[in-house]
Structure 1
């Protein structure tokens, strides 16, 4: 495999720790810059000192790692709007200002069209000054208008932060978008789009959009088209929840996320096409490099594709200069460069899974090759497909359990069929794409390629329907994931170095992993009360260990999609539903629910807390005088105008007021 340069690994870890420290501690950029300035001076001093000494002191190495650590923290902080002087939000003076934007990427729609847009100018309505700015934002539009990627819009500056989730364990979309470098959003109606410039239709201006349109108009069926767009161009906006769920359950979700596997196939295709240029090595290398990055451009420069493109570019360069390529060196070189360019890659799930899979293959695949290397090409292909699948699954196992809470038991059966056929599907798909762009795609090719994709979908659906082999509802905490990775690395070193201490490390990792699981179970065995935030509904949830009692108006609220994740995170095994009542004694707290009937005068029940539900028409001043509560909560079933009046009344009476629609679910 070649010599492993441990320094590249150490440099990468130093930068990574700097990024993670900045994320968890929120250190001010000014402190980091001062620290970096002092460290640079110390680094220069130790460097010049080391040039005059025969034996090196540790000062130079320490200063080097501290500097890389600080660079990691600084690059992370520089990605935030407050640290970018030309970020668009700094120049918005009022909601009457106008933004000039270009729609860059379309996201999967829900009840609205959603786009990522680049902001290039702000137009002040006060003095009619146009200011050049930078930054991206999320745009939500009605489904009806024919607005597409590439169009330029002039819109009002109704910018707001992307909201955090309002219930515990709900998917945090604001955090997800933050790691894409997007912090703000605008919700628009059709009449708020003041001006629309004609979409740029040239192929070079929006190549990915043009390719997607050519595929769409080629005549493929809906489900096959969705998979083709994901397979070739990494566009998953058309993938239905059913198809996505089936691919996830079958352990084939990597097919729909363009990554290293796809880039590797492109490299093989380019090498095959460019064989006649074998004697013109540098020309072949430059064309190969251009082809790899052209594919990355067409797939939207996703984190996994950029990582893979950089890694395969380094591999191609190593082969060009006749150097034996070490996959670990190449992987960490790509990792080091990428996280310095964009530290948010570290927090992107696709990047983590892709890196973990390749790293695991680099570690364990040589062991399998030493164990057995078949001479027969067909047997060798089958054996390597199996072993590569096992190696990749080992690496992504902790992250898969952490993010997706399931393990596909038939992943080998999936990959034995899918991986050898993926090259055919991808290469023929690129050929189909080229023909569709020039409008010369014959129907026989459309039918043939549709047939292949249809059979792929059917095979994936069959694997996904084997429920007995899909292990679901597995929850791991962050410490458990770290300990599981520690066990995997300890097993590798045990196999590689065969020393007794690594047996000890493996057992320590297993014990710590079990302790983390037991501690988590103990932590979630507590009793809690939640007044949840669900639009138009009142939901009170009482959690006692693994049992959840839900009080509400409609039994179907127990099927609220949100509860799937809530049950998993809180380790709930049973949900009971009861109709809402007016009186509760939960966790030794007396709670009175005042609903639309407006009944509250119960002298024998002295509540600690009032819950206002379904917009009761009551005089809150009088209610407070009669009941003397210590806390008032208004849930999401109330009119906004009522909530504003109640909030003012509570402020006047100096009683804490809690609005779930603003602050999220109330729990104690």
Structure 2
């Protein structure tokens, strides 16, 4: 088995090297690793040629070590470039020449786009600079029409992205850092303008222009509103037109993967192209021309969709399949999968840590490993029922593969996704076929009207089906906390039991049972530790007050009325911490009309008024924590004349113009330092 999948054996030590370098924060500012790796590689080849067959393990060991060092090196280079970018960005406001990489999208209170800094102007004049950043501006609808590749001249103070302000909050800073983005800037009107800098040929700008013209064609054919958002996301990967309600419905029904261009879409495009160019197989030159045309079209489609990571991954996989077929080599799908992964990890080792990368590859691994055994469990006489079972077996295999990853990142699982996939997989394929046909038809023609009518009907049927599944009660299993060790153990359990059911080898059964025992022990230990937890936390949510007193799995949550009414802020900043700590539904107390319960044994006072002008008491009130909230101007001397606190906590409802003393250990400003947590 292992001898037939050499690339899979190569990728494992490479991934180990990536994990080692990332976990230890190793840098590669020099070529010492390669100086060590090249002799090792040469030594391996020397031993492989001159020595006997019995010494083949030594050659293999050299190759494994070389791949491990390669993983260390490429990841270390990424870490080195990251620190170099952070060091070369000047402080303060400067002029920057930027190229727009991703078009602006409208958000609740701003517009957001991704730009690439080309040069900066400082006291010495203009000079080159290379950095990516997120650019935020005041809401301006004119920015939405600025195409990718446009040069912008901005006056901005680049700020390093902030770490999460609350425990268990999504780490947006690390998420962007893995994409090479470390800074952001906010611009007001008058701080930016479109530059007349001579723009040469830009492939991204060309691709964005094609994408915008295709979107315009959808609008010209009467596709509007909700259906426009669904069709633009499904066909072109343009999800900015999808509103939150559509996303929620499709996520609860387990159909969110349909609304982003992924392997399914690229696979359908490949089948269409293979059918269209199939005639080339009959001619001699065609056998050479066909793979070139197929790969050119596949990557052109990937470019038009904005080189979204799922499309790039799928395009890599299919390209290796096409190449292997053209060369007449034996095609092992595990080798093809490993080759595409190695290629992506060589370009960017950090993609390994992305949820999308992990979901894509675990889904494909699940399908190629488990779909056939699952499908063989049942046989139906009729073709229709066999087709339904075939789609179901693909869905089951993909879900088994992605199950631990889904639980680890999203803490939820759609229970009716098998039913949803029976609807969306065949219909989405038909929608892609109809969409291609619509794009090929001349505008305002009878054929275009017919194609758009079919296209809209198909989208309407799919949307109605997804909405129907969403209305079935108990469709989403939520609030499942799985940490990294548990996710790995769940994956091992699935792999071992699946291997046992397929191969009937007792070793896999024993390994699966041992993994299950370790998982159960880890779960019991986590629950035991949670029962003894006592935590006091002041959250950091701009403009709001929110505190938690936690004892075991019970807790009292104190907050102002506005944060309690904002489900989005609770879901993003607070509920992940509740989930991590295994907390029950909270007892809610409304600020300011509440007193902090004495659960932790600490003496805590919330102060939101001005300090009185009368003489302070002779004996100050001794406290563990004094929390200042609301619009309460204060002076440090006033605080310590009336109270004797161990720590003064300034919560995030205090306006920004009320400053805390600098470098005073007696103050904790959650606006600046993030949430305060005492356990």
Above 0.5 in TM-score? Answer: yes
1:527 Cα offset (Å) = 1.3
1:626 Cα offset (Å) = 4.7
CA distance, structure 2, for counterparts of residue 251 and residue 619 of structure 1 = 54
CA distance, structure 2, for counterparts of residue 438 and residue 479 of structure 1 = 58
Partner of 1:146: 142
Write out aligned runs for 1:78-117 (5 A): 78-80=77-79, 82=81, 87=85, 90=88, 92=90, 94-106=92-104, 109-117=107-115
Give the direction of change, closer, same or farther, for the CA distance of 1:100–1:468 in structure 2 (3 Å limit). closer
Partner of 1:262: 265
From 550, 557, 566, give the equivalent of 2:564.
557
What is the CA deviation profile of residues 597-656 of structure 1, one whole-angstrom value per residue up to 9, with x for unaligned ones? 43695747311222221242343224325533332211112232322xx314xx4xx543
Matched, 1:614 2:614: no
Q: Is 1:113–1:143's contact at 8 Å kept on the other side of the alignment?
A: yes
What is the CA deviation profile of residues 502-535 of structure 1, one whole-angstrom value per residue up to 9, with x for unaligned ones? 1111111211222222233234331111111122
1:84 Cα offset (Å) = 7.8
1:217 Cα offset (Å) = 4.6
Q: Is 1:106–1:237's contact at 8 Å kept on the other side of the alignment?
A: no
1:468 Cα offset (Å) = 2.2
Q: Is 2:551–2:599's contact at 8 Å kept on the other side of the alignment?
A: no
Matched, 1:459 2:473: no
Give the direction of change, closer, same or farther, for the CA distance of 1:53–1:573 in structure 2 (3 Å limit). same
Matched, 1:576 2:587: yes
Give the direction of change, closer, same or farther, for the CA distance of 1:440–1:18 in structure 2 (3 Å limit). farther
Partner secondary structure for residue 668 of structure 2: strand
Partner of 1:590: 603
Q: Is 1:612–1:633's contact at 8 Å kept on the other side of the alignment?
A: yes
What is the CA deviation profile of residues 63-109 of structure 1, one whole-angstrom value per residue up to 9, with x for unaligned ones? 32222122223222323474586x59626365233233324344563
Q: Is 1:17–1:72's contact at 8 Å kept on the other side of the alignment?
A: yes
Of the structure 1 ranges 564-573 and 356-365, higher mean CA displacement relative to structure 2 is found in: 564-573
From 279, 283, 288, give the equivalent of 1:282.
288
CA distance, structure 2, for counterparts of residue 374 and residue 606 of structure 1 = 78
| TM-score, length of structure 1 as denominator length | 0.91
1:58 Cα offset (Å) = 4.1
- For the aligned residue pairs, the C-alpha RMSD in angstroms reads 2.9
Partner of 1:175: 174
CA distance, structure 2, for counterparts of residue 429 and residue 479 of structure 1 = 44
1:159 Cα offset (Å) = 0.9
Partner secondary structure for residue 152 of structure 2: strand
Partner secondary structure for residue 136 of structure 2: strand
Partner of 1:6: 5
Of the structure 1 ranges 106-115 and 458-467, higher mean CA displacement relative to structure 2 is found in: 106-115
Matched, 1:208 2:230: no
Partner secondary structure for residue 117 of structure 2: strand
From 476, 481, 487, give the equivalent of 1:475.
481
Matched, 1:567 2:572: no
Matched, 1:631 2:647: yes
Matched, 1:661 2:671: yes
Gap runs ≥5 in structure 2: none
Partner of 2:132: 136
Partner of 1:493: 499
Gap runs ≥5 in structure 1: none
Partner of 2:523: 517
CA distance, structure 2, for counterparts of residue 505 and residue 44 of structure 1 = 38
What is the CA deviation profile of residues 273-319 of structure 1, one whole-angstrom value per residue up to 9, with x for unaligned ones? 11222222221221111111111111121222111111111212233
Give the direction of change, closer, same or farther, for the CA distance of 1:126–1:408 in structure 2 (3 Å limit). same
CA distance, structure 1, for counterparts of residue 505 and residue 114 of structure 2 = 52
1:149 Cα offset (Å) = 3.0
1:188 Cα offset (Å) = 1.0
CA distance, structure 2, for counterparts of residue 625 and residue 605 of structure 1 = 9
From 41, 46, 49, give the equivalent of 1:48.
46
1:480 Cα offset (Å) = 0.9
CA distance, structure 2, for counterparts of residue 662 and residue 164 of structure 1 = 11
CA distance, structure 2, for counterparts of residue 308 and residue 393 of structure 1 = 18
1:493 Cα offset (Å) = 2.1
1:440 Cα offset (Å) = 8.8
Q: Is 1:211–1:437's contact at 8 Å kept on the other side of the alignment?
A: no
Partner of 1:538: 545
CA distance, structure 1, for counterparts of residue 134 and residue 635 of structure 2 = 41
Q: Is 2:25–2:79's contact at 8 Å kept on the other side of the alignment?
A: no
1:552 Cα offset (Å) = 3.1
From 314, 317, 323, give the equivalent of 2:323.
317
Of the structure 1 ranges 100-109 and 339-348, higher mean CA displacement relative to structure 2 is found in: 100-109
CA distance, structure 1, for counterparts of residue 382 and residue 290 of structure 2 = 31
CA distance, structure 1, for counterparts of residue 250 and residue 384 of structure 2 = 27
Partner of 1:647: 661
Give the direction of change, closer, same or farther, for the CA distance of 1:438–1:7 in structure 2 (3 Å limit). farther
Of the structure 1 ranges 216-225 and 75-84, higher mean CA displacement relative to structure 2 is found in: 75-84
Matched, 1:328 2:334: yes
Partner secondary structure for residue 190 of structure 1: coil
Matched, 1:354 2:360: yes
Give the direction of change, closer, same or farther, for the CA distance of 1:83–1:393 in structure 2 (3 Å limit). closer
Give the direction of change, closer, same or farther, for the CA distance of 1:6–1:448 in structure 2 (3 Å limit). closer
Of the structure 1 ranges 613-622 and 171-180, higher mean CA displacement relative to structure 2 is found in: 613-622
Q: Is 2:233–2:260's contact at 8 Å kept on the other side of the alignment?
A: yes
Q: Is 2:404–2:490's contact at 8 Å kept on the other side of the alignment?
A: yes
1:235 Cα offset (Å) = 1.6
Partner secondary structure for residue 318 of structure 1: helix
Give the direction of change, closer, same or farther, for the CA distance of 1:523–1:339 in structure 2 (3 Å limit). farther
